[in-house]
Structure 1
Amino acid sequence: MGEPHGRRRPLHPRLLALLLIAAGSAGAQPQPVSGILGGSVLLSPVLSHSFEVKTAEWYFMGGTRKKIQVAEFGPKGFERPNPHDRFQQRLEMPNATALRIGGLEPGDSGVYEVLIKYNSTTEVEDQDFNLSVYDPVPTPLIQTQLLSHSPQGCNVTLRCLLPPTTLAWTSWHLDNISGTLQGHSGDGQTLFLAIPPDALNDTYTCVARSPAEEQSSSVSLSALCQIEGGRQRWAICLGVLAAIAGPLSILCCLRRRRRKADEGAPGVAEEPQYAQVPRRGPAKEDEAPPQPSDPLRTIYSEVGAGKHSLAQPQA
């Protein structure tokens, strides 16, 4: 007598175990790992057994989808099946299972598979790692703009800038507190702030992130408002000084030119001296007139020296 229709036989326990193992292997996703260009990364599998490791084989599959063996740990220790492949001297195994890759290059991105065999069991453990190599994240530049400054506070705009080709995103944080800040533009770069006097001691930090690393820059609002306010006051003072210095410089130039003109004018001729003749009484017959030792230079002698004599003395 046959079995009733619609009744299923139970699966064999061994067959069920194999199906579960296959389903688990098919559903396992590679562990994501991020690295920085030029840096290093360590691929370290998690062992499910405490048995002694017999061998560990590492395989790499990159953009070409070609799977190649790159490293092996066995009775002879760490070995490289092909030391002249793309990794050359950049691979090492610090222990029996982990793989370290140094001097990361863009072509190192891909899937790395490790097959681990134990001495006390025939089971082979298989783990995958999906490595992505990123460019280093530069330190963000904070651009500030003071919109207004008064005793009631100041209004500022903060912008977090990165080079256009950087594959990273930015976010603003207040004193290392995460979350969206009030006044955020939504693009992660610009922040509009109305700062009251009691919040001038706050510090805002811009964080630039990639899956591999992050960099940050901070700005103090107290320093920003004081510096920017001082710049405005200095601008006003410089404008006033320029308005005063302009006419003064013109006046100095005019005085200097007038002084030079006075120094270059011809000198005034020296006024000739007039001789003073003392009054004397009538001369006596036997008294000879006095003879001056040196002739006295007078205006009359000057005039007479410039003319020819009109009469000759009688002999």
Structure 2
Amino acid sequence: MTTAQPTARRMNRVLGGSAWLSVSLPPGVSVKSTEWSFNTGLGRTIVIAEFISGRLEQLDPGDQFGRRLEVPNATTLGIRELKKDDGGLYSARVKLPPATVEDYHFHLAVYELVPAPEIQSQIHPSTLGWCNLTLHCQVPTTAAMDITWGTGDSLQDLARHRVSADGQSLHLALPPGTWNDTYTCSVSNPADRKSTSVAMQSLCLSNTTHATMWTWFLCIGLIVAVAVCFGAWLWRRRRRKAAGRAPMRDCPSEPQYAEIKRRRPPEGDEQILSSPPDSPAQSLLAMTPITSIYAQVQLSTPQLLT
């Protein structure tokens, strides 16, 4: 009589690791022999090992497994130093006395080791004291892997924080008072998982510090710009006032007078004035009309009609 396991047991392992395929039998059951076979996926099945009378007989014609097989007992097969080609369907045919045969199947998948991810942060300008940033989960591999974000030790879905379509980027807008959380990026395949965490407090404090510095720089720049503009306006205003006063200095409003002292001894006209009354010079002086500077000014200035 032959019985078969209803479904194949799935096993996920990593490259270089080990896989142990074990058949579960009731306690006290005696096993006559166990035959292990491997389906290469090319449509044929080969017998790789057989356990008979307490010892292992390796029957691998292609020598794919070499010395990497172990059979510690009648119901267990071990494969060490797993390779990518070791993945596939394994079967165990167990013969029990007196004439019972039971078949068990195992589906082994071999995956690459997951590298440790790296979290990179991108700070965005903050408003009202909020912490706005984007976390990028970088994985140095092109293999298919799942990326999950979570807070603390809980790897929960953070879709409310806007996760990118590929799952690598997490956009956060955190109000003050929520910066004590730790965000974790977890990268996994069915056989391995690696995680990296980052504390928000250090990133958000750095964000607010940069924002404060830029605010101070902006304020100082505005003050300097206002001071320069005011100084330029004041300088132009003083120049205009100085230009308006210049013609008044060139044209005085009142005539200037100079004190003329009589020379001793008299010269020129003074000699004529000091000559005797009956001299020819005095006769010539009497014939010449004498006018003052005020009279000349009045004659040269047009009379205003009243």
Structure 1 residues 139 and 235: alpha-carbon distance in aligned structure 2, compared to 1, 3 A threshold = farther
Residues 83 and 89 of structure 1 are in contact (CA less than 8 Å); yes or no, is this contact kept in structure 2? Answer: no
Which position in structure 1 is the counterpart of 2:197? Answer: 218
Equivalences for residues 27-66 of structure 1 within 5 A: 28-48=6-26, 50-66=28-44
Instruction: Measure the CA separation in 1 of the matches of 2:209 and 2:188.
Output: 34
Q: Are 1:202 and 2:181 counterparts? A: yes
Which position in structure 2 is the counterpart of 1:157? Answer: 134
Match of 2:147 among 158, 170, 174: 170
Deviations 1:246-273 (A, max 9, x none): xxxxxxxxxxxxxxxxxxxxxxxxxxxx
Instruction: Measure the CA separation in 1 of the matches of 2:109 and 2:174.
Output: 42
Structure 1 residues 66 and 175: alpha-carbon distance in aligned structure 2, compared to 1, 3 A threshold = same
Please say which structure displays the higher CA radius of gyration: 2
Structure 1 residues 237 and 52: alpha-carbon distance in aligned structure 2, compared to 1, 3 A threshold = farther
How far did residue 173 of structure 1 move?
0.7
Equivalences for residues 1-315 of structure 1 within 5 A: 25=4, 28-48=6-26, 50-82=28-60, 85-119=63-97, 121-149=98-126, 152-163=129-140, 165-181=142-158, 182-185=160-163, 186-230=165-209
Instruction: Measure the CA separation in 2 of the matches of 1:42 and 1:221.
Output: 42
Instruction: Name which of structure 1's ranges 77-86 and 90-99 shifts more when overlaid on structure 2.
Output: 77-86
How far did residue 114 of structure 1 move?
0.3
Residues 58 and 71 of structure 1 are in contact (CA less than 8 Å); yes or no, is this contact kept in structure 2? Answer: yes
How far did residue 229 of structure 1 move?
4.6
How far did residue 29 of structure 1 move?
2.3
TM (norm. structure 1) is 0.61
Residues 155 and 194 of structure 1 are in contact (CA less than 8 Å); yes or no, is this contact kept in structure 2? Answer: yes
Residues 184 and 196 of structure 2 are in contact (CA less than 8 Å); yes or no, is this contact kept in structure 1? Answer: yes
Residues 20 and 77 of structure 2 are in contact (CA less than 8 Å); yes or no, is this contact kept in structure 1? Answer: yes
Residues 206 and 217 of structure 1 are in contact (CA less than 8 Å); yes or no, is this contact kept in structure 2? Answer: yes
Extract unaligned runs of 5+ from structure 2: 221-306
How far did residue 131 of structure 1 move?
0.9
Partner AA of 2:187 in structure 1? A
Deviations 1:168-199 (A, max 9, x none): 11010111224321213243222111112211
Is the partner of 2:157 in helix, strand or coil?
Answer: coil
Paired residues, number: 217
Structure 1 residues 78 and 237: alpha-carbon distance in aligned structure 2, compared to 1, 3 A threshold = farther
Instruction: Measure the CA separation in 1 of the matches of 2:210 and 2:187.
Output: 30
How far did residue 74 of structure 1 move?
1.6
Residues 36 and 134 of structure 1 are in contact (CA less than 8 Å); yes or no, is this contact kept in structure 2? Answer: yes
Residues 135 and 167 of structure 1 are in contact (CA less than 8 Å); yes or no, is this contact kept in structure 2? Answer: no
Extract unaligned runs of 5+ from structure 1: 1-17, 241-315
Instruction: Measure the CA separation in 1 of the matches of 2:30 and 2:189.
Output: 38
Partner AA of 2:198 in structure 1? V
TM (norm. structure 2) is 0.63
